[in-house]
């Protein structure tokens, strides 16, 4: 290559085959393959080796390699795998990066001060609602890196949206100033409730959301699921502004649904979600079926879950009310009134409205249903209230089990754990029945059993004798009756079970039923294992 010198900078140019050893810092431009080299210099000067180093350009093989991607497996270059039928599959870097998309690619910032709603909505619409949304390849997961994304109106979530954040206390949608929920669902034409499904638009369906907090800075809602089917939320948080001890506010709803008769909601699942600081953590009156709350946490509200309050049997979307709703393995705390209240249908025929509401394996803290007056409040209300058919409480644990006390001085009749129309089946308990107890002794008090029945399945073991039986108790405000049916083996266990009505105060209709026992003298205590079902 001929030498060209400009000031004190030297470079050569020519064909690649003519490239000589370049001096230290000398440039050599290969015109035929468009590659650039720089001389290493001598080892004495500190170079690792004598030779020329290629500088990356668009013509260099290193540049081409950097812009392509081949999956190498967990072992990398040490034990490479083959990704194609006859060799490796090579993809461009652009195609590889496009497998996942961040909302920041659409201009969202998430710094807690920038207004991000336009950028977020643009991302949602481009991925799920524009003309190519019918092609499943367009529906990529939309990633929201940790940060607070400020919005001043509801985000509208279209069909097939799949939103993933970094965790409910890391990725936060914060609504303030819009007098609206944090998010609502829409159809693929961008139409929201009242117009969803118009012009044959695809209604909200197959929506998945994970690791995001829906936080409202006003007394409005978290998420409104409108005319939607197959909605799945996992590890999400719904947070409002309600402070413990505050009043009810109908607009402050953590999660709600809205349906029309033609487009009811169905198949909605909340898994490992948190609901906090709304007047009503869950509020569902519209037609919705098959809703599951699994392993969730409900705390700090006026009502926990209000179901069927405004269902009237005639208004579009309010003709049937919520049905087949289950709360499973969840915790409830710091709730002023009922944790779950299934309301009677307003103005509808008897037997309609919210039905088949199940509470299963939940933990209800002592801070639930005591009017925010502390444990033992004289104004305690039912923890669960079922005022419609086909509802059950199964294997729930109620921490509020002590009888109420007025100023700590005298016992009052206990407030009920479950009230209304329904069945409560409790977990198995064990009690020791002391030998030679001639005076009837209380095993357990059942609160507020006005016109209710108990079915107690039990087993008594005393030395080598056994009894298996069922004790049925019927109670009213003035009397209690019972029937004990059992079988014994190896003789009599010497135990008599009974029930009495205890009026612990003068409040009419709040009587307490006590399960009691006496034992003969055999020198051995008896062990009672029993499970109680209350028909309310």
Residue 134 has pLDDT above 90, yes or no: no
* pLDDT tens digits, one per residue of 236-252: 999 999 999 899 999 99
Residue 282 belongs to some domain of the structure:
yes
**Range with lowest mean pLDDT among 2-6, 257-261, 332-336, 515-519:** 2-6
Q: What is the reported pLDDT for 376?
A: 59
Partners of 294 in the β-ladder: 271, 328
Mean pLDDT throughout 39-64?
78
Q: What is the reported pLDDT for 41?
A: 85
Residue 450 belongs to some domain of the structure:
yes
Give the Cα separation of 360 and 220 in Å (integer).
29
* pLDDT tens digits, one per residue of 267-283: 999 999 999 999 999 99
Q: What is the reported pLDDT for 148?
A: 98
Q: What is the reported pLDDT for 207?
A: 98
- With vertex at residue 243, the alpha carbon angle to CA 177 and CA 270, rounded to the nearest 5 degrees, is 80
- DSSP state for residue 448 in the 8-state scheme: -
Mean pLDDT throughout 183-206?
95
- What's CA 252's distance to the chain center, in Å? 18
Closest alpha carbon to 222 in 168, 272, 260:
168
**Looking at the structure, do residues 393 and 263 belong to the same domain, yes or no?**
yes
Closest alpha carbon to 384 in 481, 298, 454, 458:
298
For residues 223, 229, 235 and 237, what is the CA-based torsion angle, rounded to 10 degrees?
A: 10
Mean pLDDT throughout 459-465?
96
Instruction: List the CATH number of the domain containing 455.
Output: 2.60.40
Residue 126 belongs to some domain of the structure:
no
Q: Quickly state the pLDDT bin for 406 (edges 50, 70, 90).
A: very low
Q: What is the reported pLDDT for 67?
A: 76
Q: What is the reported pLDDT for 407?
A: 46
- What's CA 37's distance to the chain center, in Å? 59
Residue 365 belongs to some domain of the structure:
yes
Calculate what percentage of the chain has a pLDDT beyond 90: 60
**Looking at the structure, do residues 272 and 409 belong to the same domain, yes or no?**
yes
- Number of structural domains the chain divides into: 3
Q: What is the reported pLDDT for 413?
A: 57
Residue 421 belongs to some domain of the structure:
yes
**Looking at the structure, do residues 407 and 464 belong to the same domain, yes or no?**
no
Domain range for 487 is 429-535
Name the domain boundary from 395, 425, 455.
425
Residue 88 belongs to some domain of the structure:
no
Q: What HEC string does 224-259 produce?
A: EEECCEEEEEECCEEECCCCCCCCCCCCCEEEEEEC
Calculate what percentage of the chain has a pLDDT beyond 70: 88
Residue 175 belongs to some domain of the structure:
no
Residue 409 has pLDDT above 50, yes or no: no
pTM as predicted: 0.83
Give the Cα separation of 536 and 534 in Å (integer).
6
Q: What is the reported pLDDT for 33?
A: 83
Contacts (Cβ under 8 Å, ≥6 apart) of 529: 428, 429, 430, 458, 459, 460, 461
3-state secondary structure of 122: helix
Q: What is the reported pLDDT for 321?
A: 93
**Looking at the structure, do residues 419 and 463 belong to the same domain, yes or no?**
no
Residue 252 belongs to some domain of the structure:
yes
Name the domain boundary from 18, 41, 66.
66
Q: What is the reported pLDDT for 186?
A: 97
**Looking at the structure, do residues 265 and 304 belong to the same domain, yes or no?**
yes
């Amino acid at each position: 290559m001929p030498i060209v010198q400009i000031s004190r900078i030297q470079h050569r140019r020519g064909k690649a085959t003519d490239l000589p050893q370049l001096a230290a810092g000398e440039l050599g431009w290969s015109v035929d393959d468009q590659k650039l080299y720089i001389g290493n210099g001598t080892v004495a000067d500190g170079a690792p080796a004598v030779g020329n180093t290629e500088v990356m350009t668009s013509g260099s093989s290193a540049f081409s390699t950097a812009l392509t991607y081949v999956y190498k497996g967990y072992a990398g270059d040490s034990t490479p795998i083959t990704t194609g039928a006859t060799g490796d599959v090579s993809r461009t870097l652009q195609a590889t990066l496009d497998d996942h998309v961040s909302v920041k690619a659409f201009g969202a910032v998430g710094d807690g001060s920038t207004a991000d709603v336009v950028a977020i909505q643009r991302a949602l619409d481009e991925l799920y609602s524009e003309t190519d949304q019918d092609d499943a390849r367009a529906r990529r997961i939309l990633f929201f890196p940790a940060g607070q994304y400020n919005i001043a109106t509801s985000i509208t979530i279209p069909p097939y949206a799949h939103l993933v954040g970094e965790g409910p206390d890391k990725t936060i949608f914060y609504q303030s100033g819009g007098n609206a929920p944090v998010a609502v669902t829409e159809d693929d034409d961008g139409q929201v409730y009242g117009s969803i499904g118009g012009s044959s638009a695809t209604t909200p369906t197959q929506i998945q959301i994970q690791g995001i907090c829906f936080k409202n800075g006003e007394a409005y809602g978290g998420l409104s699921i409108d005319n939607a089917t197959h909605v799945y939320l996992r590890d999400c948080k719904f947070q409002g502004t309600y402070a413990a001890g505050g009043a009810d506010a109908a607009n402050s709803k953590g999660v709600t649904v809205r349906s029309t008769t033609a487009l009811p909601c169905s198949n909605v699942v909340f898994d490992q979600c948190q609901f906090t600081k709304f007047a009503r953590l869950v509020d569902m009156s519209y037609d919705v079926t098959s809703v599951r709350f699994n392993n969730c946490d409900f705390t700090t509200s006026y009502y926990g879950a209000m179901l069927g309050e405004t269902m009237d049997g005639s208004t579009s979307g309010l003709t049937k009310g919520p049905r087949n709703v289950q709360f499973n393995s969840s915790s409830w705390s710091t709730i002023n009134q009922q944790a779950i209240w299934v309301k009677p249908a307003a103005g509808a025929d008897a037997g309609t409205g919210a039905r088949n509401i199940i509470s299963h394996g939940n933990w209800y803290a002592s801070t639930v249903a005591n009017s925010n007056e502390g444990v033992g409040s004289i104004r305690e209300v039912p923890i669960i209230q079922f005022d419609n058919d086909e509802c059950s409480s199964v294997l729930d644990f109620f921490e509020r089990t002590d009888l109420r006390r007025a100023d700590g001085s005298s016992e009052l009749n206990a407030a009920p754990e479950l009230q209304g129309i329904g069945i409560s089946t409790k977990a198995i308990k064990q009690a020791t029945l002391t030998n030679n107890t001639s005076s009837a002794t209380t095993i357990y008090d059942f609160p507020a059993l006005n016109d209710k029945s108990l079915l107690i399945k039990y087993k008594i073991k005393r030395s080598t004798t056994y009894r298996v039986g069922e004790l049925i108790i019927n109670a009213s405000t003035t009397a209690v009756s019972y029937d004990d049916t059992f079988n014994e083996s190896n003789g009599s266990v010497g135990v008599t079970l009974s029930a009495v009505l205890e009026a612990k105060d003068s409040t009419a209709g709040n009587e307490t039923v006590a399960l009691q026992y006496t034992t003969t003298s055999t020198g051995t205590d008896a062990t009672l294992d029993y499970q109680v079902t209350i028909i309310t």
